[in-house]
Amino acid sequence: MGSENLQAWLHVYRAPGLGFSGVSRLLDYYGDITAIPGRTKFPSDLKIPVTAQAYLKDCRDEDLTADLKWLEKPQNHILPIDDDLYPPQLKATADPPLLLFIKGHIETLLLPQLAVVGSRRATRGGLDNAQSFCYELAKKNWVITSGLAAGVDAASHQAALDAGGQTVAVMGTGINTIYPKANQQLAKDIMNNGAIVSEFDFNTPPQANNFPRRNRIIAGLSLGTLVVESGKKSGTLITARLTYDINRPVMAIPGSIHNPMAKGCHWLIKQGAALVESVDDIVHELTPGMSMLSEQIRERMAKDNDAVVEKNKKHHDIALSESQQQLLAYMGYDPISFDALVAATEQPSADISADLLILELNGLIEKQAGAKYLKR
């Protein structure tokens, strides 16, 4: 993305009171983000706040020097909503962030993600469940997405790292403000094996009202949400509700009827959340979303003439998992069908879809018409 385009996005992002709907109206009217900063007047029917108009009239590119210097570091990224690398599953939600500030491997956001959430004051059993489920899911190449909080969030991120997998931390602070401070080393490890993400400006401090907003990104990036442990009146349930709002599966791990930290999970199950007892239960719930995500990513790759693949290869060369190596072993330079790969490997179709997408994003295989694949 060109510097002029990104600078225009930063100006529009910082215009007070615009939000997603205001920017959408401006883009529908002007057609190009670079046509918005510097304007002295806007049509009244666009309903642009006076404060935003004043900001856009007087904004200067010189004010963005620090932003562009931050971007010079190789692991730092700012991703506008119109970028081809913007996660399609997040863009499909009702209120996607205009910009994502990212440290780490940007392509991780395109991979199949599961939101894992739970109490900051989880029991030992809850932490053990978060660790065991996330470890096994990461081994199966699912990206674990959570909020970098204490308790279940931190255990989930750490389990994915321990498995040699990838994980995404969505923050309720600015990208340069790690919260809680006790998780600073964890955040660094996540940067090296996934990504930390924020929609808030660089140095935004912890503010209570920003964390519920953060939860919609956790839900929006993911194909579904797993609630590990939660009280009946917990912020964790906000993420579950937001997941329902975007018609994606909510799953909950049951617990003892005597455990107050299981009450939220039991309530969710009564409301229709899937009761899950194993990783296979989770994969089964995510299978429909996996197929849809695979097609969305492939459409973007085709549209961009493989630029997405090339960008990803520059950022991150993955070490292939055992299941990915097995898939490649069954594939040659003649096309083989998806059904034949499922039959040959005896793996769940959702796992196969995830592995194929990861191999394709890294330029190792190619998909052809009729859901057939071959080595590149």
Task: Tell whether the model's pLDDT for residue 153 goes beyond 90.
Answer: yes
Please tell me the predicted confidence (pLDDT) of residue 176: 95
Fold of 106-283: Rossmann fold (3.40.50)
Give the whole-angstrom CA distance, residue 275 versus residue 296: 28
Task: Determine the pLDDT at residue 234.
Answer: 84
State how far the alpha carbon of 69 is from the alpha carbons of 8, 60, 126, in Å: 16, 16, 42
Q: Where are the CATH 3.40.50.450 domain residues in the chain? A: 106-283
* Residue owning tokens 């529908």: 28
* pLDDT of amino acid 298: 64
Kindly give, in sequence order, each residue whose CB lies less than 8 Å from that of residue 35, ignoring residues fewer than 6 positions away.
none
% of the chain exceeding 90 in pLDDT: 70
Which tokens sit at 350? 């959702």
* pLDDT over 90 at 344, yes or no: no
The predicted pLDDT at position 299 comes to 67
How many other C-beta atoms are found inside a 10 Å radius of the C-beta of residue 65? 9
Classify 184 as helix, strand or coil.
helix
Q: List CB contacts of 13: < 8 A, sequence separation 6 or more.
A: 98, 99
Would you state the pLDDT for residue 241?
96
CATH 1.10.10.10 in the chain is located at 317-375
Q: Does position 316 have pLDDT exceeding 60, yes or no?
A: no
What band does 69 get if pLDDT is binned at 50, 70 and 90?
very high
The stretch 82-110 carries a mean pLDDT of 93
Q: What is the pLDDT of residue 301?
A: 57
Tokens of 352: 């196969």
Question: Tell me: the pLDDT tens digits for 205-222?
Answer: 999 999 999 999 999 999
Which whole number is the average pLDDT over 96-101? Answer: 96
Sign of torsion over alpha carbons 38, 39, 45, 48:
positive
Confidence bin at 353 (pLDDT 50/70/90) = confident
Average pLDDT along the chain: 89
- Considering only residues 24 and 359, tell me which one the structure prediction assigns the higher pLDDT: 24
Assign 303 a pLDDT band (cuts: 50, 70, 90).
Answer: low
* pLDDT score, position 48: 94
| Position 105, amino acid | H
What pLDDT score does 2 carry?
65
Residue 371: closest CA among 338, 327, 332, 349: 338
31 sits in the region (left: phi over 0; alpha: psi -120 to 50; else beta) called left
- Strand pairing partners for 368? 372
Q: On the CB side of 185, how many CA atoms lie within 13 Å of its CA?
A: 2
Percent of the chain with pLDDT over 70: 92
pLDDT in tens, 27-59: 999 999 999 999 999 999 999 999 999 999 999
Q: What is the mean pLDDT of residues 14-25?
A: 92
State mean pLDDT over 240-264: 95
Q: Where in 201-248 does DSSP place strands (E)?
A: 225-227
Give the CA angle between residues 177, 198, 185 to the nearest 5°.
Answer: 45
Q: Tokens 């937001």 identify what position?
A: 242
Locate tokens 């990212």: which residue? 102
What confidence score (pLDDT) does residue 355 get?
81
pLDDT for residue 328: 87
- Domain range 317-375, CATH architecture: Orthogonal Bundle (1.10)
* Spatial distance between the Cα atoms of 19 and 13, rounded to a whole number of angstroms: 8
Q: Assess whether pLDDT exceeds 90 at residue 293.
A: no
Q: Is the pLDDT of residue 110 over 60?
A: yes
Which positions ≥6 away from 243 have C-beta within 8 Å? 115, 219, 222, 224, 225, 249, 250
